[in-house]
Amino acid sequence: MNDWITLLHTFKITKTPVALITVTQVLGSAPCKIGSKMIVTHQKEIFGTIGGGKLEFHIITQAQKAIQENQIQSTTYTLGPEFEQCCGGKVTLLIEPMNQNPELYLFGAGHIGVALCEVLANTPFQIKLLDTREQWESTLSLPSSVTYSAVPFDLYKSTIHWGPNCYAIIVTHDHKLDFEITALCLAESTKFIGLIGSKTKRNKFHHMLRDELSFEAGMNPVHCPVGLDLGGHTPKEIAISIAAQLLHVYYEK
């Protein structure tokens, strides 16, 4: 596969999660050579080959797992009866998931939201700051890496990239909007949901979710109050506590 760099660039532009599989070692007889590459998408589309057969079919499944877990894997296989091949050689493969950077949606461009943008700059998170207030962006000074959006709440469902790489922090200026966004995040696939607020706010939202929306789990999947208990009450200190929690979850510490 000579055009794998071009393909990876295309998948990066379209934010398509893929796994790049590379043959890194061959011992004995095998239907592939060192450097052979194959790309597998999250929908099991394949580009290139590592030799075909049952081994390749097995590796496609392993690539799906690597994409889901976002973990690099290196494995060695003996080409014997298990793979219906009599070569007897050994093949080592490197599986690299790509385009899996976590997307952080900060709902609310107030003091805490803006401080979070500053604290989390130059971390793995791709930050998108959203605020429904008209012309609010003109009041802000944001890091160049942050994407700002003023789309109305009604478009959140269709414009946000929900899924296992979606992190949501809810710190808006409006409690009603906080609740609507929380409910939407719970209805969609979201890796992490954090909501600013007190225990009283959490209890109120919990009952509203169960009684009004019949969401039995209520607020149980939501981190509220969001942030690690580090102490401090200024917007910057709260942002640091939230950033610490997000990084803790992302790095699975």
pLDDT tens-digit readout, 196-250:
999 999 999 999 999 999 999 999 999 999 999 999 899 999 999 999 999 999 9
- Using CA atoms, how far apart are residues 130 and 113, in angstroms rounded to an integer? 9
Q: What is the 3-state secondary structure (H, E, C) of 217-237?
A: CCCCCCECCCCCCCCCCCHHH
Closest CA to 23 of 69, 47, 71, 59: 59
pLDDT tens-digit readout, 164-186:
889 999 999 999 999 999 999 99
pLDDT tens-digit readout, 52-64:
778 888 899 999 8
pLDDT tens-digit readout, 80-107:
666 666 566 788 999 999 877 889 999 9
pLDDT tens-digit readout, 19-39:
999 999 988 877 778 999 999
Q: What is the β-pairing status of strands 126-130 and 103-107?
A: parallel
Q: Helix, strand, coil shares of the chain as percentages rounded to 5?
A: 35, 25, 40
For position 104, what pLDDT does the model report? 97
The two three-digit tokens of residue 133, written as one number: 């207030």
For position 82, what pLDDT does the model report? 62
Average pLDDT for 104-120: 97
Average pLDDT for 142-161: 94
Across the beta sheet with 147-149, what order do the strands follow? 147-149, 126-130, 103-107, 163-170, 190-195
- Using CA atoms, how far apart are residues 250 and 194, in angstroms rounded to an integer? 14
For position 79, what pLDDT does the model report? 76
pTM of the complete model: 0.73
Listed in sequence order, the DSSP H helices in 133-225 are: 156-159, 175-187, 199-212
